[in-house]
């Protein structure tokens, strides 16, 4: 059993997930999942003491094992951060993209978090409280025709927030969406310089790309219960990208 509140952060070994895990580890027992890069996960563990567990969020068996591990070892789940996500292996125009890659992206980015939340929510209802965060993307509403799978997955995830918030509100389980913009991670490494230039030239009102800590900070507010009366809230962490400026 854990004296600290227990947080699961999926995809915690790198990028945004790592930033979230590092922030939460100051106050929570963190279970950080990883899929392939054990070295990165072990580095996280060494840095902040997080418990690490290999888990493919797209796998029903792995999702069930993750929740069972958390409950068996720590007795509860206070916070689930659905962060794990992948970009398509091939960036192709939607006229040419394959069903295989579409299914691969949606299994990890949408179906996985949706049903992981179902499992975690059952435990949270049993214990009488809990919080769930879905890390989505500006791609939930921004059309990128070279990675349609990713956009569809994030748009679906945004609706999942509303569904779970409505369903779980009577059970003292709050659900939130944190919507990152262009964040400096491995996912954008190949196009980072182009994005940096666009940010400076007006794409982002705040004139800079984000860092993982910019996403972790609103999750800190959620973890601390500062916006519990706002279940279903969408928090933009995007440097003002969502603004419509005339």
**Residues identified as active-site:** 137, 150, 154
Q: How many Cβ atoms from other residues are within 10 Å of residue 126's Cβ?
A: 12
Two tokens, residue 195: 């994005």
Q: How many Cβ atoms from other residues are within 10 Å of residue 65's Cβ?
A: 14
Residue 16 and residue 58: Cα distance in Å, rounded?
Answer: 19
Three-state SS at 43: helix
User: Which among 135, 133, 160 is positioned nearest to 222, based on CA atoms?
Assistant: 133
Two tokens, residue 222: 């959620």
Three-state SS at 196: helix
Phi, psi of 200 (to 5 degrees): -70, -25
């Amino acid at each position: 059993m854990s004296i600290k509140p227990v947080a699961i952060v999926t995809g915690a070994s790198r990028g945004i997930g790592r930033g979230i895990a590092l922030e939460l580890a100051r106050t929570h027992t963190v279970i950080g999942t990883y899929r392939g890069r054990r070295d990165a996960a072990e580095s996280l563990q060494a840095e902040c003491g997080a418990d690490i567990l290999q888990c493919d969020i797209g796998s029903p068996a792995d999702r069930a094992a993750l929740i069972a591990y958390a409950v068996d070892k720590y007795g509860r789940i206070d916070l689930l951060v659905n962060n794990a996500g992948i970009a398509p292996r091939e960036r192709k125009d939607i006229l040419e993209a394959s069903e295989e890659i579409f299914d691969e992206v949606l299994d990890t980015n949408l179906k996985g978090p949706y049903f992981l939340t179902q499992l975690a929510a059952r435990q949270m209802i049993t214990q009488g409280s809990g919080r769930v965060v879905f890390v989505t993307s500006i791609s939930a509403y921004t059309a990128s025709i070279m990675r349609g799978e990713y956009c569809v997955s994030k748009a679906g995830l945004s609706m999942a927030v509303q569904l779970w918030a409505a369903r779980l509100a009577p059970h003292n389980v709050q659900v939130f969406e944190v919507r990152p913009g262009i964040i400096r991670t491995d996912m954008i490494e190949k196009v980072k310089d182009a994005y940096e230039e666009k940010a400076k030239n007006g794409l982002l009102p705040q004139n800079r790309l984000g860092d993982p800590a910019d996403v972790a900070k609103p999750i800190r507010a959620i973890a601390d219960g500062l916006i519990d009366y706002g279940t279903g809230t969408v928090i933009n962490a995007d440097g003002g990208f969502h603004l419509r400026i005339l």
